[in-house]
Structure 1
Amino acid sequence: MKTLHDLHRPLGATGLMVSPLGLGTVKLGRDQGVKYPSGFTIPDDRDAANLLALAQELGINLIDTAPAYGHSEERLGKLLRGQRDNWIIVSKVGEEFESGQSRHDFSPQHTRFSVERSLKLLGTDCIDLVLVHSDGQDVEILKDTGVYETLDALKREGAIRAFGLSGKTVEGGLLALDKGDCAMVTYNLNEQSERQVIDHAATLGKAILIKKALASGHVCLDSGVDPVQASFELVFGHPGVASAIIGTINPLHLSHNVRVAVSVIQSRR
């Protein structure tokens, strides 16, 4: 079985080592207002635990969650009990999802409240990476709300190890890297407008996480070409990329994604 165990790489300059694929967990906690091509059922605890065990067996050590992912953090806190040292956990601040609607709050007070709540729900005394969950106004959020300054203070206090932005613009991504540790950007076969942010990260030695590497399941190619392979050849063809977050709850898809990622990464060595 091909695994990612021997392919972990640095998450920028954070001192953390992460698997090239991370597991996104929105589907563990939320089935409303999600942009996937087909519906799904939130897995029960047994299926969720089996998925996490498979991810670990396949060499995945990076897990991505957020307050806006419904019950994801709370479930992970229970499912990962006793396993904290095996995982690099990414969570977020700024977006809440309640009664089927998103709302955003980037104030220092809410940022601190959100991190403290995530620590409690996840059952940990430190979150490895906290990202600002942008509503699209990246530059204004970083310059005017105090969210980055609050995350920097929480980092100095030891509540988080690193911070950054999950943004939507090139300008926001560049600013996020200059003042923080990481940018999470969209980069796939359909959307490559944020490539400049990845280039910038490579020159700074900062971290890049990729979201929507498979275009949330919407990647379409001519028949005969594996869309997962083509997507990973693009993503892992850039030296600035640390890891791509894949949000599947299907064990077969997860295994296939890892198998393809291993082949693509090893072929580039």
Structure 2
Amino acid sequence: MNNLHDLHRPLGSTGLLVSPLGLGTVKLGRDQGVKYPNGFTIPDDSAARQLLNLARELGINLIDTAPAYGNSEERLGPLLRGQRQDWVIVSKVGEEFENGQSRFDFTAKHTRFSVERSLKRLQTEVIDLVLVHSDGNDLAILRDGGVYQTLAELKREGKIRGFGLSGKTVEGGLLALEQGDCAMVTYNLNEQQERPVLDYAASHGKGILLKKALASGHVCLEPGVDPVRASFELIFAHPAVTSAIVGTINPLHLTHNVSTAASVIRELS
């Protein structure tokens, strides 16, 4: 069994069941200002559709996008038409990417505008999870921005099912989990500073999504060690980790990631 179909798990207390790997879609919409070791070409609709179909066949049901990912959301709307019930969609608020530059807006007004726009682009009535795309000032954003209160309102209105923070600090991650459903944190073989956020989530029934789980392809190990397996052995050993987002557009890499994750999770259970 080298797929993830029977390994879906609850994302905290959101009621969402997600695959232990999610598909990140920055490469479907943006090729400027992204930190990957190798250049890439944004796949056309046919290649993107094949990638999504493969992900679904492999048991992935979690898809991660954002307004800051170029035209990723606009592309996913038509690509996922007729399949909405098969996917748990994560999007973001707070970061805009225009003319090769990021800018940030965490006001209540922009948060509402951004979520309404994402609903239209994704051609859906509800977004499963919306994360605040932090610029690094996690605590200030959560305390002063109005963004979290607005996301709580949108959840009550039924436009989103859950919310949280894609942050950069331990303090931000902890506050995000206290007041929200989920945190997206960096945790990999190179960087484990945010581990206290994972520990808090494990003891409080909150969801954790990992970004850069494979260190965006930068991880270095001794010869003969599979970096993907070593990464998954670290992250899935932590009970809080619900799902890790992998951003590959290479079908072979995706298949290898899934079979490795499935085998590691089965060995750990």
Match of 1:228 in 2: 228
Once residues 104 and 211 of structure 2 are traced to their aligned partners in structure 1, the CA distance between those partners, rounded to angstroms, is 20
Match of 1:121 in 2: 121
SS of equivalent residue, structure 1 residue 37? coil
Mapping of residues 40-79 of structure 1, within 5 Å: 40-79=40-79
Name the amino acid aligned to 1:64: D
Output one character per residue of 1:220-242: Cα deviation in whole Å (capped at 9) or x when no partner: 11110000000000010000000
Once residues 254 and 57 of structure 1 are traced to their aligned partners in structure 2, the CA distance between those partners, rounded to angstroms, is 11
Name the amino acid aligned to 2:11: L
1:85 Cα shift? 0.3
Match of 1:251 in 2: 251
What percentage of residue pairs aligned between the two structures are identical? 77
RMSD between aligned residues: 0.5
Mapping of residues 1-269 of structure 1, within 5 Å: 2-269=2-269
1:173 Cα shift? 0.1
User: TM-score by structure 2 length?
Assistant: 1.00
Structure 1 spans left out of the alignment, 5+ residues: none
1:265 Cα shift? 0.2
Once residues 123 and 234 of structure 2 are traced to their aligned partners in structure 1, the CA distance between those partners, rounded to angstroms, is 36
Once residues 221 and 45 of structure 2 are traced to their aligned partners in structure 1, the CA distance between those partners, rounded to angstroms, is 35
Once residues 245 and 150 of structure 1 are traced to their aligned partners in structure 2, the CA distance between those partners, rounded to angstroms, is 25
Output one character per residue of 1:81-125: Cα deviation in whole Å (capped at 9) or x when no partner: 000000000000000000000000000000000000000000000
Output one character per residue of 1:13-47: Cα deviation in whole Å (capped at 9) or x when no partner: 00010000000000000000000001000000000
Name the amino acid aligned to 2:242: A
Structure 1 runs of 4+ with >2 Å offset: none
Once residues 262 and 82 of structure 1 are traced to their aligned partners in structure 2, the CA distance between those partners, rounded to angstroms, is 27
Name the amino acid aligned to 1:187: Y
Once residues 164 and 268 of structure 1 are traced to their aligned partners in structure 2, the CA distance between those partners, rounded to angstroms, is 27
Once residues 142 and 63 of structure 1 are traced to their aligned partners in structure 2, the CA distance between those partners, rounded to angstroms, is 24
SS of equivalent residue, structure 1 residue 118? helix
Output one character per residue of 1:158-191: Cα deviation in whole Å (capped at 9) or x when no partner: 0000000000000000000000000000000000
SS of equivalent residue, structure 1 residue 33? coil
Give the aligned length: 269
1:2 Cα shift? 1.3
Structure 2 spans left out of the alignment, 5+ residues: none
SS of equivalent residue, structure 1 residue 253? helix
Name the amino acid aligned to 2:42: I
SS of equivalent residue, structure 1 residue 185? strand
Once residues 263 and 204 of structure 1 are traced to their aligned partners in structure 2, the CA distance between those partners, rounded to angstroms, is 27
SS of equivalent residue, structure 1 residue 168? coil
Once residues 128 and 244 of structure 1 are traced to their aligned partners in structure 2, the CA distance between those partners, rounded to angstroms, is 16
